[in-house]
Structure 1
Amino acid sequence: MPTTDDFGQGVSIASLTDAPDAAKLARDIVNGIAARSVMRFASASARSAALTAPAEGMTTWLVAEGRLEIYHIGSWLAWPPPAVQTFQVSDAPYNQTQVTVDYSVSAWPRAVFVAPPSGRAYVTVSAGISNTNTDTSTIWAAWRATGNLGFAYTNLTRTGLSAQGRRVVGSRRLMLTGMTAGETITVIPQWNISSGGASTSETFGGALLVEPAP
Protein backbone atom coordinates (compact mmCIF):
# COMPACT_ATOMS: atom_id res chain seq x y z
CA MET A 1 0.00 0.00 0.00
CA PRO A 2 1.47 3.44 -0.93
CA THR A 3 2.79 5.68 1.80
CA THR A 4 3.25 9.46 1.81
CA ASP A 5 6.34 11.64 2.01
CA ASP A 6 8.12 12.41 5.29
CA PHE A 7 7.19 16.10 5.19
CA GLY A 8 3.41 15.76 5.39
CA GLN A 9 2.81 17.10 1.88
CA GLY A 10 0.68 14.19 0.70
CA VAL A 11 3.00 13.01 -2.07
CA SER A 12 2.24 9.33 -2.70
CA ILE A 13 5.20 6.91 -2.62
CA ALA A 14 4.87 3.24 -3.57
CA SER A 15 5.77 0.66 -0.94
CA LEU A 16 7.72 -2.56 -1.50
CA THR A 17 4.53 -4.63 -1.30
CA ASP A 18 2.86 -2.80 -4.23
CA ALA A 19 2.79 -4.42 -7.65
CA PRO A 20 5.68 -3.16 -9.80
CA ASP A 21 4.59 -0.27 -12.02
CA ALA A 22 7.37 2.15 -12.90
CA ALA A 23 5.07 4.46 -14.86
CA LYS A 24 2.66 4.84 -11.93
CA LEU A 25 5.53 5.31 -9.49
CA ALA A 26 6.98 8.17 -11.59
CA ARG A 27 3.56 9.75 -12.23
CA ASP A 28 2.58 9.77 -8.55
CA ILE A 29 5.84 11.41 -7.52
CA VAL A 30 5.96 13.96 -10.37
CA ASN A 31 2.28 14.94 -10.09
CA GLY A 32 2.49 15.20 -6.33
CA ILE A 33 5.54 17.44 -6.41
CA ALA A 34 4.31 19.55 -9.38
CA ALA A 35 1.04 20.35 -7.61
CA ARG A 36 3.02 21.70 -4.65
CA SER A 37 5.54 23.73 -6.64
CA VAL A 38 5.14 26.96 -8.64
CA MET A 39 3.37 25.76 -11.78
CA ARG A 40 3.82 27.76 -15.01
CA PHE A 41 1.01 28.40 -17.50
CA ALA A 42 0.86 30.47 -20.68
CA SER A 43 -2.19 32.38 -19.40
CA ALA A 44 -5.05 32.30 -16.90
CA SER A 45 -7.22 30.53 -19.46
CA ALA A 46 -4.58 27.85 -19.98
CA ARG A 47 -4.45 27.36 -16.21
CA SER A 48 -8.22 27.02 -16.01
CA ALA A 49 -8.15 24.32 -18.67
CA ALA A 50 -5.39 22.39 -16.88
CA LEU A 51 -6.50 22.87 -13.25
CA THR A 52 -10.20 22.12 -13.18
CA ALA A 53 -10.21 21.52 -9.42
CA PRO A 54 -7.42 23.62 -7.86
CA ALA A 55 -6.49 22.92 -4.25
CA GLU A 56 -5.99 25.42 -1.44
CA GLY A 57 -2.47 26.88 -1.51
CA MET A 58 -1.63 26.01 -5.14
CA THR A 59 0.77 28.54 -6.65
CA THR A 60 1.06 29.44 -10.34
CA TRP A 61 3.00 31.80 -12.57
CA LEU A 62 1.04 33.23 -15.52
CA VAL A 63 3.36 34.07 -18.41
CA ALA A 64 1.00 36.35 -20.37
CA GLU A 65 -0.09 38.27 -17.27
CA GLY A 66 3.38 38.26 -15.69
CA ARG A 67 1.85 37.45 -12.33
CA LEU A 68 2.28 35.02 -9.44
CA GLU A 69 -1.02 33.84 -7.94
CA ILE A 70 -2.07 31.69 -4.98
CA TYR A 71 -5.34 29.77 -4.75
CA HIS A 72 -7.09 30.73 -1.51
CA ILE A 73 -10.72 30.28 -0.40
CA GLY A 74 -11.95 29.58 -3.91
CA SER A 75 -10.09 32.37 -5.74
CA TRP A 76 -6.77 32.91 -7.47
CA LEU A 77 -5.15 35.89 -5.72
CA ALA A 78 -2.16 37.86 -7.01
CA TRP A 79 0.93 37.63 -4.83
CA PRO A 80 2.25 39.91 -3.58
CA PRO A 81 -1.08 41.78 -3.64
CA PRO A 82 -0.73 44.77 -6.01
CA ALA A 83 -1.19 48.31 -4.72
CA VAL A 84 -3.82 50.57 -6.31
CA GLN A 85 -3.60 54.36 -6.57
CA THR A 86 -5.93 57.03 -7.95
CA PHE A 87 -5.44 60.78 -8.31
CA GLN A 88 -7.72 63.77 -7.96
CA VAL A 89 -8.63 65.22 -11.36
CA SER A 90 -10.69 68.25 -10.36
CA ASP A 91 -11.94 69.96 -7.21
CA ALA A 92 -15.23 69.40 -5.38
CA PRO A 93 -18.16 71.80 -5.87
CA TYR A 94 -18.36 72.57 -2.13
CA ASN A 95 -22.09 73.09 -2.45
CA GLN A 96 -22.96 71.44 0.87
CA THR A 97 -21.80 72.16 4.40
CA GLN A 98 -21.45 69.98 7.51
CA VAL A 99 -22.00 66.78 5.55
CA THR A 100 -19.52 64.29 4.08
CA VAL A 101 -19.92 63.93 0.32
CA ASP A 102 -18.44 61.47 -2.18
CA TYR A 103 -16.31 62.88 -4.97
CA SER A 104 -17.72 62.16 -8.39
CA VAL A 105 -15.92 59.44 -10.32
CA SER A 106 -14.72 62.00 -12.87
CA ALA A 107 -13.37 64.37 -10.19
CA TRP A 108 -11.52 61.70 -8.20
CA PRO A 109 -11.73 58.05 -9.35
CA ARG A 110 -12.42 55.27 -6.86
CA ALA A 111 -9.72 52.77 -5.89
CA VAL A 112 -10.91 49.22 -6.58
CA PHE A 113 -8.90 46.24 -5.32
CA VAL A 114 -9.16 42.57 -4.39
CA ALA A 115 -8.83 41.79 -0.70
CA PRO A 116 -5.65 39.76 0.01
CA PRO A 117 -5.52 36.53 2.06
CA SER A 118 -4.92 38.55 5.24
CA GLY A 119 -8.15 40.52 4.84
CA ARG A 120 -6.20 43.72 5.58
CA ALA A 121 -5.08 46.73 3.56
CA TYR A 122 -3.52 50.11 4.27
CA VAL A 123 -5.41 53.09 2.85
CA THR A 124 -3.67 56.47 2.60
CA VAL A 125 -5.25 59.76 1.56
CA SER A 126 -2.96 62.67 0.63
CA ALA A 127 -3.86 66.20 -0.44
CA GLY A 128 -3.40 69.91 -0.04
CA ILE A 129 -6.53 71.39 1.57
CA SER A 130 -7.71 74.77 2.81
CA ASN A 131 -10.87 76.59 3.90
CA THR A 132 -10.38 80.30 4.53
CA ASN A 133 -14.03 81.21 5.05
CA THR A 134 -13.32 81.92 8.75
CA ASP A 135 -10.47 81.23 11.13
CA THR A 136 -12.35 78.18 12.40
CA SER A 137 -13.78 76.85 9.11
CA THR A 138 -12.73 73.26 8.43
CA ILE A 139 -12.22 71.13 5.36
CA TRP A 140 -11.67 67.37 5.15
CA ALA A 141 -10.27 65.01 2.52
CA ALA A 142 -11.37 61.52 3.50
CA TRP A 143 -12.59 58.18 2.16
CA ARG A 144 -15.06 55.37 2.79
CA ALA A 145 -14.91 51.70 1.81
CA THR A 146 -17.71 49.53 0.51
CA GLY A 147 -18.31 46.42 -1.61
CA ASN A 148 -18.34 42.87 -0.29
CA LEU A 149 -17.12 43.81 3.18
CA GLY A 150 -20.43 42.91 4.74
CA PHE A 151 -20.50 46.51 5.98
CA ALA A 152 -19.75 49.98 4.64
CA TYR A 153 -16.73 51.39 6.44
CA THR A 154 -16.98 55.12 7.03
CA ASN A 155 -15.37 57.11 9.84
CA LEU A 156 -14.40 60.68 9.02
CA THR A 157 -12.28 61.21 12.12
CA ARG A 158 -10.20 58.10 11.37
CA THR A 159 -9.89 58.30 7.59
CA GLY A 160 -9.86 62.05 7.08
CA LEU A 161 -7.16 64.65 6.61
CA SER A 162 -8.28 68.03 7.99
CA ALA A 163 -7.39 71.73 7.93
CA GLN A 164 -8.88 74.67 9.82
CA GLY A 165 -8.76 78.20 8.46
CA ARG A 166 -5.50 77.65 6.60
CA ARG A 167 -3.74 75.44 4.04
CA VAL A 168 -2.43 72.03 5.05
CA VAL A 169 -0.56 69.55 2.86
CA GLY A 170 -0.30 66.08 4.32
CA SER A 171 -1.44 62.46 4.36
CA ARG A 172 -3.17 60.02 6.68
CA ARG A 173 -2.89 56.23 6.72
CA LEU A 174 -5.23 53.65 8.21
CA MET A 175 -5.34 49.85 8.13
CA LEU A 176 -8.70 48.61 6.85
CA THR A 177 -9.51 45.20 8.37
CA GLY A 178 -12.30 42.64 8.34
CA MET A 179 -12.28 41.93 4.61
CA THR A 180 -12.78 38.47 3.15
CA ALA A 181 -9.98 37.28 0.88
CA GLY A 182 -10.84 37.48 -2.81
CA GLU A 183 -13.63 40.01 -2.43
CA THR A 184 -13.71 43.21 -4.46
CA ILE A 185 -13.54 46.37 -2.34
CA THR A 186 -14.13 49.95 -3.49
CA VAL A 187 -12.55 52.91 -1.69
CA ILE A 188 -14.35 56.19 -2.39
CA PRO A 189 -12.72 59.60 -1.79
CA GLN A 190 -14.85 62.19 0.06
CA TRP A 191 -14.91 65.86 1.06
CA ASN A 192 -16.47 67.83 3.89
CA ILE A 193 -16.54 71.55 4.76
CA SER A 194 -18.03 73.19 7.84
CA SER A 195 -18.87 76.50 6.15
CA GLY A 196 -18.15 78.57 3.07
CA GLY A 197 -18.13 77.28 -0.47
CA ALA A 198 -16.11 76.99 -3.67
CA SER A 199 -14.70 80.51 -3.31
CA THR A 200 -13.09 79.75 0.07
CA SER A 201 -12.36 76.00 -0.08
CA GLU A 202 -9.81 74.06 -2.08
CA THR A 203 -8.39 70.56 -2.39
CA PHE A 204 -5.49 69.96 -4.74
CA GLY A 205 -3.03 67.19 -5.59
CA GLY A 206 -5.23 64.54 -4.00
CA ALA A 207 -4.05 60.92 -4.07
CA LEU A 208 -5.67 57.77 -2.71
CA LEU A 209 -3.36 54.77 -2.20
CA VAL A 210 -4.44 51.24 -1.24
CA GLU A 211 -1.70 48.79 -0.19
CA PRO A 212 -2.97 45.27 0.55
CA ALA A 213 -1.16 43.96 3.65
CA PRO A 214 0.33 40.42 3.86
Structure 2
Amino acid sequence: MTVQYTPMSNLPYPQPADPADLPAHLKALAEALDHRTVLRFADAAARDAKVTAPIAGMLAWVGSPGRLMYYTGAEWVPAAPTPVYKINLTSGTTTSTTFVETLSTGDPVTVSFLAPASGQLLVTVGGYLWSSVANNASVMSAIIRNSSGTVSLAASDNRAALVNSVSRASVSSQFLVTGLTPGATYSATPAYRSGATSNTASFDSRFIRVDPIP
Protein backbone atom coordinates (compact mmCIF):
# COMPACT_ATOMS: atom_id res chain seq x y z
CA MET A 1 0.00 0.00 0.00
CA THR A 2 1.30 3.42 -0.99
CA VAL A 3 0.73 5.59 2.06
CA GLN A 4 -0.19 9.24 1.61
CA TYR A 5 -0.87 11.66 4.47
CA THR A 6 -3.10 14.67 4.93
CA PRO A 7 -1.11 17.94 5.07
CA MET A 8 -2.45 19.19 8.43
CA SER A 9 -3.01 16.21 10.72
CA ASN A 10 -0.76 13.70 8.96
CA LEU A 11 -3.57 11.12 8.64
CA PRO A 12 -3.05 8.21 6.19
CA TYR A 13 -5.32 7.60 3.20
CA PRO A 14 -5.17 5.05 0.34
CA GLN A 15 -4.31 5.71 -3.29
CA PRO A 16 -6.27 4.53 -6.36
CA ALA A 17 -3.61 1.92 -7.15
CA ASP A 18 -3.74 0.39 -3.64
CA PRO A 19 -5.39 -3.01 -3.07
CA ALA A 20 -9.08 -2.79 -2.21
CA ASP A 21 -8.49 -3.75 1.43
CA LEU A 22 -11.01 -1.62 3.31
CA PRO A 23 -10.33 -3.14 6.77
CA ALA A 24 -6.60 -2.39 6.45
CA HIS A 25 -7.26 1.17 5.32
CA LEU A 26 -9.73 1.78 8.18
CA LYS A 27 -7.33 0.23 10.70
CA ALA A 28 -4.51 2.56 9.59
CA LEU A 29 -6.80 5.58 9.89
CA ALA A 30 -8.21 4.48 13.27
CA GLU A 31 -4.71 3.96 14.69
CA ALA A 32 -3.63 7.38 13.46
CA LEU A 33 -6.69 8.99 15.07
CA ASP A 34 -6.53 7.02 18.31
CA HIS A 35 -4.11 9.28 20.18
CA ARG A 36 -5.66 12.46 18.74
CA THR A 37 -9.03 12.03 20.43
CA VAL A 38 -9.89 12.81 24.07
CA LEU A 39 -8.91 9.61 25.86
CA ARG A 40 -10.98 8.49 28.87
CA PHE A 41 -9.68 6.73 31.97
CA ALA A 42 -10.95 5.94 35.46
CA ASP A 43 -7.94 7.58 37.11
CA ALA A 44 -4.34 8.66 36.52
CA ALA A 45 -3.01 5.17 37.23
CA ALA A 46 -5.21 3.66 34.51
CA ARG A 47 -4.10 6.40 32.11
CA ASP A 48 -0.41 5.84 32.79
CA ALA A 49 -0.77 2.07 32.46
CA LYS A 50 -2.41 2.43 29.04
CA VAL A 51 -0.52 5.44 27.66
CA THR A 52 3.08 4.38 28.21
CA ALA A 53 4.55 6.79 25.62
CA PRO A 54 2.42 9.97 25.66
CA ILE A 55 2.90 12.59 22.97
CA ALA A 56 2.89 16.33 23.57
CA GLY A 57 -0.62 17.69 23.06
CA MET A 58 -2.48 14.49 23.97
CA LEU A 59 -5.75 15.00 25.89
CA ALA A 60 -7.15 12.64 28.52
CA TRP A 61 -10.20 12.78 30.75
CA VAL A 62 -9.42 11.35 34.20
CA GLY A 63 -12.62 10.22 35.91
CA SER A 64 -11.22 10.56 39.41
CA PRO A 65 -11.07 13.39 40.37
CA GLY A 66 -12.89 14.42 37.17
CA ARG A 67 -10.44 16.54 35.21
CA LEU A 68 -9.36 17.11 31.61
CA MET A 69 -5.58 16.80 31.32
CA TYR A 70 -3.08 17.39 28.54
CA TYR A 71 0.50 16.22 28.08
CA THR A 72 3.07 19.00 27.82
CA GLY A 73 5.81 16.73 26.53
CA ALA A 74 7.08 16.19 30.06
CA GLU A 75 4.04 16.04 32.40
CA TRP A 76 0.28 15.57 32.46
CA VAL A 77 -1.25 18.85 33.67
CA PRO A 78 -4.79 20.29 33.91
CA ALA A 79 -6.02 21.49 30.52
CA ALA A 80 -7.90 24.35 32.18
CA PRO A 81 -6.61 25.07 35.70
CA THR A 82 -9.36 26.46 37.92
CA PRO A 83 -9.19 28.27 41.28
CA VAL A 84 -9.93 26.42 44.51
CA TYR A 85 -11.42 28.16 47.52
CA LYS A 86 -12.41 27.30 51.09
CA ILE A 87 -13.70 29.30 54.04
CA ASN A 88 -14.25 28.52 57.72
CA LEU A 89 -16.78 30.80 59.40
CA THR A 90 -15.86 29.57 62.89
CA SER A 91 -13.88 32.05 65.00
CA GLY A 92 -10.69 30.77 66.65
CA THR A 93 -7.71 32.04 68.62
CA THR A 94 -4.07 31.31 69.32
CA THR A 95 -1.34 32.65 71.62
CA SER A 96 1.42 30.75 69.78
CA THR A 97 4.22 32.97 68.51
CA THR A 98 5.13 30.36 65.87
CA PHE A 99 2.78 29.49 63.02
CA VAL A 100 0.09 26.87 63.77
CA GLU A 101 -2.56 25.48 61.43
CA THR A 102 -5.28 24.71 63.99
CA LEU A 103 -6.89 27.37 66.19
CA SER A 104 -8.73 26.93 69.46
CA THR A 105 -11.92 26.09 67.56
CA GLY A 106 -12.56 24.86 64.05
CA ASP A 107 -10.61 22.66 61.67
CA PRO A 108 -7.70 23.62 59.43
CA VAL A 109 -8.84 25.19 56.15
CA THR A 110 -7.02 23.03 53.60
CA VAL A 111 -7.43 23.00 49.81
CA SER A 112 -5.86 20.52 47.37
CA PHE A 113 -4.88 21.29 43.78
CA LEU A 114 -2.77 20.17 40.83
CA ALA A 115 0.13 22.41 39.88
CA PRO A 116 -0.35 23.91 36.38
CA ALA A 117 2.14 23.66 33.53
CA SER A 118 3.84 26.88 34.66
CA GLY A 119 4.43 25.53 38.18
CA GLN A 120 3.16 28.87 39.46
CA LEU A 121 0.07 30.03 41.33
CA LEU A 122 -1.32 32.89 43.41
CA VAL A 123 -2.39 32.19 46.98
CA THR A 124 -4.74 34.52 48.83
CA VAL A 125 -5.44 34.27 52.56
CA GLY A 126 -7.57 36.49 54.74
CA GLY A 127 -10.42 36.98 57.16
CA TYR A 128 -11.40 39.09 60.15
CA LEU A 129 -8.37 39.52 62.46
CA TRP A 130 -7.92 41.30 65.80
CA SER A 131 -5.73 41.17 68.90
CA SER A 132 -6.48 41.23 72.61
CA VAL A 133 -3.56 43.59 73.29
CA ALA A 134 -3.01 46.83 71.38
CA ASN A 135 0.06 47.00 69.13
CA ASN A 136 0.42 43.19 69.13
CA ALA A 137 0.11 41.33 65.85
CA SER A 138 -2.38 38.74 64.71
CA VAL A 139 -0.76 37.13 61.65
CA MET A 140 -2.19 34.80 58.97
CA SER A 141 -0.07 33.17 56.27
CA ALA A 142 -0.17 29.77 54.49
CA ILE A 143 1.82 26.55 54.13
CA ILE A 144 2.19 24.68 50.82
CA ARG A 145 2.85 20.91 50.95
CA ASN A 146 3.36 18.24 48.31
CA SER A 147 1.40 14.98 48.23
CA SER A 148 3.82 13.28 50.64
CA GLY A 149 3.32 16.04 53.23
CA THR A 150 6.70 17.69 52.73
CA VAL A 151 6.58 21.47 53.09
CA SER A 152 7.26 23.15 49.74
CA LEU A 153 6.74 26.68 51.07
CA ALA A 154 6.56 27.57 54.76
CA ALA A 155 4.36 30.22 56.33
CA SER A 156 6.09 33.58 56.59
CA ASP A 157 5.41 37.10 57.84
CA ASN A 158 6.51 38.24 54.37
CA ARG A 159 3.49 36.39 52.94
CA ALA A 160 0.89 37.24 55.54
CA ALA A 161 -2.17 39.28 56.40
CA LEU A 162 -1.85 40.96 59.79
CA VAL A 163 -3.57 43.30 62.21
CA ASN A 164 -1.95 45.22 65.11
CA SER A 165 -5.15 46.38 66.75
CA VAL A 166 -7.85 45.32 69.19
CA SER A 167 -10.35 46.48 66.57
CA ARG A 168 -11.64 43.73 64.30
CA ALA A 169 -10.52 44.32 60.71
CA SER A 170 -11.04 42.54 57.40
CA VAL A 171 -7.62 41.93 55.81
CA SER A 172 -6.05 39.69 53.17
CA SER A 173 -2.71 38.97 51.56
CA GLN A 174 -1.85 37.53 48.15
CA PHE A 175 1.50 36.05 47.15
CA LEU A 176 3.11 34.24 44.24
CA VAL A 177 4.28 30.63 44.53
CA THR A 178 6.76 29.31 41.95
CA GLY A 179 8.82 26.21 41.28
CA LEU A 180 6.07 23.62 41.77
CA THR A 181 6.20 20.37 39.79
CA PRO A 182 3.67 20.61 36.93
CA GLY A 183 0.86 18.09 37.29
CA ALA A 184 1.78 17.17 40.88
CA THR A 185 -0.74 17.31 43.72
CA TYR A 186 -0.25 19.90 46.47
CA SER A 187 -2.21 21.30 49.39
CA ALA A 188 -2.40 24.78 50.88
CA THR A 189 -3.36 25.46 54.51
CA PRO A 190 -3.60 28.78 56.36
CA ALA A 191 -1.30 29.20 59.36
CA TYR A 192 -1.66 31.61 62.25
CA ARG A 193 0.43 33.19 64.97
CA SER A 194 0.38 35.87 67.65
CA GLY A 195 2.95 38.62 68.12
CA ALA A 196 3.39 37.67 71.80
CA THR A 197 2.26 34.94 74.16
CA SER A 198 0.52 37.64 76.22
CA ASN A 199 -1.65 38.46 73.21
CA THR A 200 -4.63 36.38 72.09
CA ALA A 201 -4.72 36.53 68.30
CA SER A 202 -8.26 36.06 66.94
CA PHE A 203 -9.34 34.98 63.47
CA ASP A 204 -12.84 34.74 62.01
CA SER A 205 -14.29 33.94 58.57
CA ARG A 206 -10.81 32.82 57.52
CA PHE A 207 -10.37 31.77 53.92
CA ILE A 208 -7.81 30.59 51.40
CA ARG A 209 -7.92 30.72 47.62
CA VAL A 210 -5.47 29.21 45.12
CA ASP A 211 -5.38 30.54 41.53
CA PRO A 212 -3.19 28.46 39.19
CA ILE A 213 -1.28 30.45 36.57
CA PRO A 214 -1.48 28.57 33.22
TM-score band, normalised by the shorter chain?
0.7 to 0.9
Report if aligned partners of 1:92, 1:107 keep a CA contact under 8 Å in 2.
no
Identity of aligned residues (%): 18
**CA RMSD after TM alignment:** 3.6
The reply to whether residue 161 of structure 1 matches residue 137 of structure 2 is: no
Deviations 1:33-57, CA, capped at 9 Å, x for gaps: 3421334x48449x74994436232
| Distance of aligned partners of 1:73 and 1:110 in 2 relative to their CA distance in 1, 3 Å threshold | farther
The reply to whether residue 125 of structure 1 matches residue 125 of structure 2 is: yes
| Distance of aligned partners of 1:78 and 1:162 in 2 relative to their CA distance in 1, 3 Å threshold | same
Deviation, 1:155, is: 5.2
Partner of 2:208: 208
| Distance of aligned partners of 1:208 and 1:201 in 2 relative to their CA distance in 1, 3 Å threshold | same
Letter of the 2:189 counterpart: I
Q: Secondary structure at the match of 2:94?
A: coil
Deviation, 1:75, is: 6.0
Partner of 2:87: 87
Q: Taking structure 2 as the reference length, what is the TM-score of the superposition?
A: 0.75
Deviation, 1:201, is: 2.7
Partner of 1:175: 176
| Distance of aligned partners of 1:139 and 1:6 in 2 relative to their CA distance in 1, 3 Å threshold | same
Deviations 1:102-128, CA, capped at 9 Å, x for gaps: 336952232221212221222111211
Distance 1:204 1:84 in 2: 20
| Distance of aligned partners of 1:55 and 1:11 in 2 relative to their CA distance in 1, 3 Å threshold | farther
The reply to whether residue 113 of structure 1 matches residue 118 of structure 2 is: no
Structure 2: gaps (5+ residues):
none
Deviations 1:135-187, CA, capped at 9 Å, x for gaps: x2111111021226986313523421011123320222222111111212121
Distance 2:185 2:66 in 1: 21
The number of residue pairs the alignment matches comes to 209
The reply to whether residue 138 of structure 1 matches residue 137 of structure 2 is: yes
| Distance of aligned partners of 1:64 and 1:190 in 2 relative to their CA distance in 1, 3 Å threshold | closer
Deviation, 1:91, is: 4.4
Distance 2:75 2:82 in 1: 16
Q: Taking structure 1 as the reference length, what is the TM-score of the superposition?
A: 0.75
